[in-house]
């Protein structure tokens, strides 16, 4: 926070201004205090924008949207004047950094924190959608991190569900890296668009990276990835990955509802942030306690003015901007706090003394319930992708199941089954749950066409860190999938000679499971191509398994048998073989 400049106002409405929180293309944001001692954030619109009738209309819409939505998961609007010469709005001050700043400074959040973040953001979006609004710009810089949960801000582009697609032809409304595919295409939006953005925000919080690319320099590349590409989730695993993947479904109707997501999540915990983040929040609160009301300082001269290039406050609803951390003065943040417990006490005391929140206590709706009924929903601990082999007397198969949030009679699972001669994909409907998840599957894809049959009713039960799968008398044990695509270290061209002296070449790409990510060639001793085929990736790690499904050559010497093939990593080599990689013809491959 910066001290006030001599030409800054000292009051606005009934609020005494204490300092500058940030500036952006839309206006200047100040920290203020009400006559009753409540800390507020006051945003004043730039004079040139105030003279623009279209901008005033947008500002009125922003304030009205924030008024309608305000609850404990957002920054409540306390007062506003949208018609004066200098329009302004005052909201409850939220004493915390943005999620973007938190991840940048402290790194990705742990799984428990991301699940708690999801719970808070879902509740905030429920408030938005209950007002028949779509936020349209949910992103890490529009989420504030506080000791008792996240807060969603910036309703500058929120629009009614019944509103038109956009305000002007060709306008790109929203933040490309976090918008939905339908928003990127300029199509009419539904609340499901915010759910896609939620998935991107959670992915960023869990990995520290944007799932569809970084930076504005590659704007068109980012938009293409959002519309056509697969999210890059790296090593993300467990229930967070399952939740993110379900939210990032390309078709809006395939994304889970907010109610289904919330019911799949654990209760919001009493302590949801890592200790380092809590310590920072405590120091910030201590600095606020030390803050004094400034006197008029015209005689002291202004502080050096810094370049006024727009920061990321454009569209903010009276909240602080921390995205440019280097501009903050730190002399108020010198209080040392010994341990997370002391910080929590200090922060709670600060909140009470400053009356900075809306007054909701933990027992109100939207707080942390003492328990949660998980019957009828997929348990949180089972969300994500599980895979493993199934052996019966007459066959061997590899099965991969991804569980997403959902309720009874909803589609909650994607199932892939690969065995000699067949690749079958299904969608699973939730028949029952808690503790055993029962699925009823319907076929969605068959290779070769028309060869797959309906899948059997099946049950999954969590046992320790594994899932026990059963369909009648056939059973198996699944592990969490380690990868959704082939790791970069194993991608490339691999060459070797099999046990019969045949030269084999494999081109392994980084495609996702379910795509044609492996190209296999069989060569003559002189290097001529006998057989060239593409294979669908079935598993991306431990081992890598693919099913040869499409022939690229028309040679009479090459007949395509749809076979399961696998790679196992051994040191710097890959061992290729049929089936599970342990039987039949094998070859040791070297990178070429």
Give me the sign of the Cα torsion angle 284, 289, 294, 300. negative
Could you give the CA distance from residue 542 to residue 585 in angstroms, rounded to a whole number?
19
How far does Cα 121 stand from its chain's mean position?
A: 11
Enumerate the known binding-site residues for ATP: 43
Q: Is 227 left (phi over 0), alpha (psi -120 to 50) or beta?
A: alpha
Enumerate the known binding-site residues: 43
Could you give the CA distance from residue 251 to residue 435 in angstroms, rounded to a whole number?
30
How far is the CA of 150 from the CAs of 121, 125, 320, 366, 481, in angstroms?
7, 12, 14, 12, 30
Structure tokens belonging to residue 254 = 């395939």
Pair 540, 486: CB distance under 8 Å: yes
Length of the chain: 592
Residues paired with 565 in a beta bridge: 546, 578
| 137 included as an active-site residue | yes
Could you give the CA distance from residue 556 to residue 69 in angstroms, rounded to a whole number?
68
Please provide residue 527's backbone torsions phi and psi, each rounded to the nearest 5 degrees.
100, 0
Instruction: Indicate the Cα dihedral angle 97, 101, 107, 110, nearest 10°.
Output: 40
Pair 138, 178: CB distance under 8 Å: yes
Give me the sign of the Cα torsion angle 199, 202, 207, 208. positive
Could you give the CA distance from residue 406 to residue 106 in angstroms, rounded to a whole number?
32
Please provide residue 268's backbone torsions phi and psi, each rounded to the nearest 5 degrees.
-65, 125
Could you give the CA distance from residue 579 to residue 166 in angstroms, rounded to a whole number?
53
How far is the CA of 179 from the CAs of 172, 197, 209, 450, in angstroms?
10, 6, 15, 37
Q: Tell me the three-class secondary structure of 70-121, residue by residue.
A: CCCCECCEEEEECCCCCCEEEEECCCCCEHHHHHHHHCCCCHHHHHHHHHHH
Pair 534, 516: CB distance under 8 Å: yes
How far does Cα 276 stand from its chain's mean position?
A: 22
Could you give the CA distance from residue 105 to residue 328 in angstroms, rounded to a whole number?
14
Specify the 3-state DSSP secondary structure of 55.
helix
**Which member of 137, 148, 455, 532 is catalytic?**
137
Structure tokens belonging to residue 203 = 């992915």
Could you give the CA distance from residue 317 to residue 35 in angstroms, rounded to a whole number?
21
Give me the sign of the Cα torsion angle 75, 76, 82, 87. negative
Could you give the CA distance from residue 205 to residue 140 in angstroms, rounded to a whole number?
8
Active site residues: 137
């Amino acid at each position: 926070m910066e001290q006030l400049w001599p030409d800054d106002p000292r009051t606005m409405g009934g609020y005494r201004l204490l300092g500058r929180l940030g500036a952006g293309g839309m206006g200047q944001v100040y920290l203020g205090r009400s006559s009753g001692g409540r800390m507020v954030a006051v945003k004043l619109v730039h004079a040139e924008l105030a003279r623009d009738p279209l901008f005033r209309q947008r500002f009125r819409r922003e304030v009205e949207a924030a008024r309608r939505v305000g609850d404990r998961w957002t920054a409540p609007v306390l007062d506003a004047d949208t018609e004066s010469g200098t329009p302004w709005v005052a909201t409850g001050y939220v004493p915390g950094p943005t999620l973007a700043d938190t991840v940048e400074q402290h790194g990705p959040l742990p799984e428990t924190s991301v699940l708690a973040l999801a719970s808070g953001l879902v509740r905030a979006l429920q408030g938005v959608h209950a007002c028949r609004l779509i936020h349209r710009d949910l992103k890490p810089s529009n989420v504030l991190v506080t000791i008792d949960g996240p807060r969603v801000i910036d309703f500058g582009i929120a629009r009614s569900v019944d509103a038109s697609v956009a305000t002007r032809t060709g306008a790109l409304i929203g933040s490309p890296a976090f918008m939905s595919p339908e928003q990127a295409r300029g199509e009419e939006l539904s609340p499901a668009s915010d759910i896609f953005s939620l998935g991107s925000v959670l992915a960023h919080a869990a990995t520290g990276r944007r799932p569809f690319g970084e930076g504005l320099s590659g704007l068109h590349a980012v938009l293409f990835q959002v519309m056509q590409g697969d999210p890059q989730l790296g090593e993300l695993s467990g229930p967070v990955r399952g939740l993110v993947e379900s939210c990032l479904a390309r078709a809006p109707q395939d994304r889970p509802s907010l109610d289904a997501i919330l019911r799949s999540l654990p209760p919001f915990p009493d302590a949801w942030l890592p200790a380092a983040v809590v310590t920072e929040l405590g120091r910030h609160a201590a600095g606020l306690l030390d803050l004094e009301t400034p006197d008029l300082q015209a005689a002291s001269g202004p502080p050096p003015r810094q370049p006024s290039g727009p920061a990321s406050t454009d569209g903010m609803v009276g909240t602080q901007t921390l995205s440019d951390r280097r501009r903050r003065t730190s002399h108020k943040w010198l209080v040392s706090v010994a341990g997370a417990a002391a910080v929590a006490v200090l922060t709670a005391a600060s909140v009470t003394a400053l009356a900075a929140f809306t007054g909701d206590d933990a027992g109100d709706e939207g707080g942390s319930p003492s328990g949660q009924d998980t019957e009828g929903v997929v348990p949180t601990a089972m969300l994500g992708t599980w895979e493993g082999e199934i052996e019966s007397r007459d066959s061997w198969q590899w099965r991969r199941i991804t569980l997403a949030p959902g309720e009874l009679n909803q589609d909650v699972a994607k199932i892939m089954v690969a065995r000699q001669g067949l690749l079958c994909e299904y969608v699973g409907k939730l028949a029952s749950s808690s503790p055993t998840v029962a699925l009823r599957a319907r076929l969605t894809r068959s290779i070769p066409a028309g060869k797959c049959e309906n899948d059997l009713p099946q049950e999954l039960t969590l046992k320790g860190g594994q899932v026990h799968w059963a369909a009648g008398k056939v059973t198996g044990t699944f592990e969490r999938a380690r990868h959704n695509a082939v790791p970069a270290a194993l991608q490339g061209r691999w060459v070797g000679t099999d046990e019969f002296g045949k030269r084999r070449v494999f081109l392994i790409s980084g495609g996702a499971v379910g795509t044609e990510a492996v190209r296999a060639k069989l060569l003559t001793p002189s290097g001529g191509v006998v057989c060239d085929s593409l294979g669908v990736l079935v598993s991306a790690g431990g081992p890598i398994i693919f099913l040869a499904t499409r022939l690229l050559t028309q040679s009479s010497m090459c007949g395509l048998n749809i076979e399961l093939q696998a790679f196992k990593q051994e040191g710097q080599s890959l061992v290729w073989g049929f089936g599970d990689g342990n039987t039949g013809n094998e070859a040791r491959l070297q990178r070429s």
